[in-house]
Amino acid sequence: MKTISENASFQGKQGVYSHASTSCHCDMTFALFLPEEAERGPVPLLWFLSGLTCTHENAMTKAGAQAWAAEHGIAVVFPDTSPRGEDVANDEAYDLGQGAGFYVNATQDPWQPNFQMWSYIADELPALLAENFALDMDRQAICGHSMGGHGALTLAMNLDGRFKSVSAFAPIANPSDSDWGRKQLTAYLGADTATWAKHDATLLMADKGFDGPVLIDQGADDQFLDLLKPEALAAAIAKRRQNAIFRMHPGYDHSYFFISTFMEDHIAFHADALYAD
Residues 85-136 pLDDT 10s: 999 999 999 999 999 999 999 999 999 999 999 999 999 999 999 999 999 9
How much is the pLDDT for 39? 97
Measured CA to CA, the distance from residue 203 to residue 7 in angstroms comes to 41
How much is the pLDDT for 277? 74
Does the pLDDT of residue 25 top 90, yes or no?
yes
How much is the pLDDT for 167? 98
Structural domain harbouring 209: 2-274
Does the pLDDT of residue 84 top 80, yes or no?
yes
Does the pLDDT of residue 69 top 90, yes or no?
yes
Q: Quick: pLDDT tens for 238-251.
A: 999 999 999 999 99
Q: Quick: pLDDT tens for 250-261.
A: 999 999 999 999
What is the percentage of the chain residues whose pLDDT exceeds 70? 100
| CA–CA distances in Å: residue 134 to residues 60, 150, 162, 265 | 19, 28, 18, 25
What is the percentage of the chain residues whose pLDDT exceeds 90? 100
User: Cα–chain-centroid distance for residue 190?
Assistant: 23
Does the pLDDT of residue 83 top 80, yes or no?
yes
How many domains does the chain fold into?
1
Average pLDDT estimate for 153-181? 97
How much is the pLDDT for 182? 97
Confidence of residue 163 (pLDDT cuts 50, 70, 90): very high
What kind and span of H or E run contains 186?
A: helix 179-189
Q: Which amino acids are annotated catalytic?
A: 146, 222, 254
How much is the pLDDT for 194? 95
Give me the amino acid identity at 41: G
Confidence of residue 41 (pLDDT cuts 50, 70, 90): very high
In order, the DSSP letters of 17-46 are: EEEEETTTTEEEEEEEEE-GGGGTS-EEEE
Mean pLDDT of the chain: 98
Average pLDDT estimate for 24-30? 98
Cα separation of the two ends of the chain: 33
CATH of the domain at 230: 3.40.50.1820
**What are the backbone dihedrals phi and psi of residue 76, each rounded to the nearest 5 degrees, phi first?**
-130, 125
Q: Quick: pLDDT tens for 188-203.
A: 999 999 999 999 999 9
